[in-house]
């Protein structure tokens, strides 16, 4: 517990929620299962660079990508310094911290898999468009619905929501997050460069959804 105390001791004054009522108000109308990367605070472990691991009741805020922690009184605090965090495991889910963002990992092999980044933006002026426009990046989608740990939440596009949510699919290898591209695939599977080239020459394009990305990775990891 010393490492956990070290991480959050300077965040004692950064009390976000003083109880269930305050917590619900501070999500700005965003459902908790979207506001956070996990449906609820759960037992978790933090893996640091150059320090021993720490444990606690953890979650991650998708709005500002900060690690959140419940103290012994159930108050929610935000980590004051996350620069040394490598990975966070909450319940059975692992998140990799890269470039100040937490990516949810979906392993395919021991070192390679898909990494999902969720971005939730609070919209301050709904007249400018509550949902905004779709990103031009092929692997980013804005949602009519979003699935969090097996539960699907529908977002009615006819309503104006005070938030915008999107998820992007990347790849990872070890502790590195990589862009989804033909070049990256050839680096991840050097023994299958010819197969990868042939697959694209057949007219295939990069997948946009998580199941499609996982299927593509399994295609060459299992050979």
Domain ranges of the chain: 1-91
pTM for the full model?
Answer: 0.76
Of residues 88 and 125, more confidence is placed in: 88
Residue 57 reports pLDDT greater than 70: yes
Across the chain, mean pLDDT equals 76
Collapsed DSSP state (helix, strand, coil) of residue 96: strand
pLDDT tier for residue 70 given thresholds of 50, 70 and 90: confident
Residue 174 reports pLDDT greater than 70: yes
Q: What percent of the chain has pLDDT over 90?
A: 43
Residue 71 reports pLDDT greater than 90: no
DSSP per position, 138-189:
TTEEE-SEEEETTEEEE--TTSPPSEEEEEEEEEEETTEEE--SHHHHHHH-
Check residue 22 and give its pLDDT: 34
């Amino acid at each position: 517990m010393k490492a956990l105390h070290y991480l959050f001791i300077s965040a004692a004054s950064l009390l976000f929620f003083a109880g269930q009522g305050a917590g619900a108000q501070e999500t700005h109308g965003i459902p908790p299962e979207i506001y956070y990367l996990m449906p609820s605070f759960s037992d978790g472990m933090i893996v640091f660079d150059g320090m021993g691991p720490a444990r606690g009741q953890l979650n991650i805020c998708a709005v500002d990508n900060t690690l959140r922690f419940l103290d012994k009184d159930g108050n929610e605090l935000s980590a004051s310094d996350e620069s040394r965090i490598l990975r966070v495991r909450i319940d059975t889910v692992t998140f990799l911290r890269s470039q100040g963002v937490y990516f949810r990992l979906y392993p395919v092999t021991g070192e390679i898999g898909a990494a999902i980044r969720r971005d939730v933006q609070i919209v301050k002026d709904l007249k400018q468009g509550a949902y905004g426009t779709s990103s031009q990046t092929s692997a980013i989608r804005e949602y009519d619905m979003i699935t969090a740990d097996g539960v699907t939440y529908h977002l009615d596009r006819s309503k104006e929501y005070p938030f915008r949510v999107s998820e992007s699919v990347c790849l990872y290898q070890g502790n590195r997050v990589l862009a989804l591209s033909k070049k990256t695939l050839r680096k991840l599977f050097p023994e299958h460069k010819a197969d990868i080239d042939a697959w694209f020459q057949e007219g295939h394009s990069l997948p946009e959804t998580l199941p499609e990305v996982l299927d593509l990775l399994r295609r060459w990891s299992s050979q």
